[in-house]
Amino acid sequence: MNLDAHTYPHPSKRNVVYGRKGMVATSQPLAAEAGLDILKKGGNAIDAAIATAACLTVVEPTSNGIGSDCFALVWVDGKLHGLNGSGQAPENLTIEAVKEAGYESELPKFGMIPVTVPGTPGAWAKLSEKFGKLPLKEVLEPAIIYAEEGFPLTPTLAKYWERAYNAYSRLFKGDEFAPWFETFSPGGKVPKVGEMWSSPGHAYTLRLIAETNAKAFYEGELADKIDKFFQKHGGYLRKEDLKAYRPEWVTPINVNYRGYDVWEIPPNGQGLIALEALNIIKGYDFTHMDSTDTYHKQIEAMKLAFVDGMKYITDPASMSVDCKQLLSDEYAKERRKLIGEEAITPEPGKPPMGGTVYLAAADGEGNMVSFIQSNYMGFGSGIVIPGTGIAMQNRGHNFSLDPKHDNALKPGKKTYHTIIPGFLTKEGQAVGPFGVMGGFMQPQGHLQVVVNTIDFGLNPQAALDAPRWMWSEGKKIHIERHLAPHIAEELSRRGHDIKVELEGGPFGRGQIIWRDPKSGVLIGGTESRTDGHIAVW
């Protein structure tokens, strides 16, 4: 790994950032600075991460909200901890109920049906309780102030806000969607770049969560409001579902890639896909970054890993294979044999039996956090609980209605989840957190960032700014327009269906913080494809 600030093989819009006492990197400047303020008040990296995450529900509602799910990888005292903050399907939500509602092939994207129990408020409280230094009330205060007093919209935020409003105005016709418009486009007006927006209901909700350590959301006043609204509009979520929820501490999974351990959250997250793909490509030597063969082999490995993930990843209790089987060297060798000179249409293998926000935070004491939080598709389901600012996620859309599928919908089950935090260690020491948000782009972004960092020695900013590719289906590969034309042409000759994208949004938004093991200096990179920002001390 090369942390040289001058290592920029592709055009970069930002310089790499250095600090010593603390660093917070995320997609919205106000949220990153809120986390840094908490560090300066005596909080640690965990407090800073919670403060930033809560603030993001206010200042970037186009990607996440109080009704989100989240996951975290937390490095404390020389050990990596994992927290699964995703919720389960309501007890009344069954395959039969969905089909009776008129949906035969898949769950709808919007409305009451795809809403599962939001895990984020409970996860904030759990993280604070186990690792935080400051009271949750103090940690959530910056988010509460922004919700009450308002903030000016940043360019990327305003673009996606207007895009959502235009789409929702066509799609959302029922009364259950009225609170979304009342909350996010009051008076029929969408906030523009630089205009102020506030949400008193959001502030009130955050204060209740802070004062009760999230119990108000799962057992008290907020749970009652959620239950009442879902019953009124024929939804399935109930107070009993909320009360039954518990965030879950989990053991992170990893593979060793060229001497570095790459860590991910285990299923129901899709980090397994990134690890399987890395396990496949570690059998190759990549000598040149801008080589057609380098791109081709990464793409083919990712396709093979992705189809496995889509077949097997779900709530661990329902998986027909386990992570060890999919991440075994034996299985990686078998999958690697399928990669030739031409693009293939991938099929799942048979292992040997046996809208999202991301943030990274670090403090001067060595604690580091990789944290991701999402409503899934932009604002989520389109369901907002009246007067609360709670925008509910639509994670249930990922469930299968095929009862034989590993990810088949069942009451109380957690679905396949796209959001994944990443973490890097070497020889038992923390290197640092990384992540690239963006739906099914996420494991692909993780693979590319790891390869850029380890194989080609790019610093955090250069690793993020490098041109990206994204596999979508079959042989279709989307590429950024600044990827070298000769590589795109050669990939096309190898059978890849290449589509050049004019916008960077589909390729995800990443953040990285590495720690120099000798000096303790923090080195950060933030996403140039959005309003990315690093707050540093």
pLDDT of 2? 59
Q: If you average pLDDT over every residue of the chain, what do you get?
A: 95
pLDDT band (50, 70, 90) for residue 503 = confident
CA neighbor of 495 nearest in space, from 306, 292, 337, 332: 292
Confidence of residue 351 (pLDDT cuts 50, 70, 90): low
Q: What is the DSSP string of 270-335?
A: THHHHHHHHHHHTTS----TT-HHHHHHHHHHHHHHHHHHHHH-S-GGG-SS-HHHHT-HHHHHHH
d(CA 255, CA 264): 9
Task: Summarize pLDDT for 476-502 with one digit per residue, the tens.
Answer: 999 999 999 999 999 999 999 999 998
pLDDT per position as a tens digit, 401-436: 999 999 999 999 999 999 999 999 999 999 999 999
Q: What is the pLDDT of residues 178-227, one digit of tens each?
A: 999 999 999 999 999 999 999 999 999 999 999 999 999 999 999 999 99
**Residue 95 host element (H or E):** helix 95-100
Range in 7-21, 141-155, 246-260, 376-390 with the lowest mean pLDDT: 7-21
User: Could you tell me if 124 and 214 are in contact, meaning their C-beta atoms sit under 8 angstroms apart?
Assistant: yes
pTM: 0.96
pLDDT above 70 covers what percent of the chain? 97
Catalytic pick among 154, 356, 415, 530: 356
HEC profile for 20-79?
CCEEEEECCHHHHHHHHHHHHCCCCHHHHHHHHHHHHHHHCCCCCCCECEEEEEEEECCE
In the predicted structure, residue 23 carries a pLDDT above the cut 80: yes
| Confidence tier at 277 by pLDDT (50, 70, 90) | very high
C-alpha 68/C-alpha 85 separation (Å) is 9
pLDDT of amino acid 354: 42
Q: How far apart are CA 421 and CA 433, in angstroms?
A: 8
Is the pLDDT at 6 greater than 60? The verdict is no
pLDDT tens readout for residues 51-63: 999 999 999 999 9
- Chain mean position to CA 505: 14
Q: Is the pLDDT of residue 12 over 80?
A: no
Strand ranges (E), 300-444 = 356-363, 368-374, 384-385, 390-391, 422-426, 429-437
Question: Known catalytic residue: 356?
Answer: yes
pLDDT of residue 301: 98
Q: What is the pLDDT of residue 10?
A: 74
Measured distance CA(32)–CA(18) in Å, rounded: 15
Integer Cα distance of 390 and 334 in angstroms: 47
The answer, yes or no, to whether residue 142 has pLDDT greater than 70, is yes
Would you say residue 307 has pLDDT above 80?
A: yes
pLDDT band at 1 (very low <50, low <70, confident <90, very high): low
What pLDDT is attached to residue 7? Answer: 58
E strands in 133-270: 151-152, 196-197, 248-250, 253-257, 260-264
The CA–CA distances, whole Å, from 65 to 75, 111, 393, 420 equal: 25, 16, 8, 17
**pLDDT recorded at residue 8:** 64
Give me the helix-helix angle, 141-149 and 200-212, nearest 10°. Answer: 160
Q: How confident is the model at residue 505 (pLDDT cuts 50, 70, 90)?
A: confident
The pLDDT assigned to 349 comes to 74
User: Residue 353: pLDDT above 70?
Assistant: no
Among candidates 522, 460, 521, 517, which has minimal Cα distance to 4? 460
Query: pLDDT digits over 449-479, tens only?
Result: 999 999 999 999 999 999 999 999 999 999 9
Residues 6+ apart with CB under 8 A from 100: none
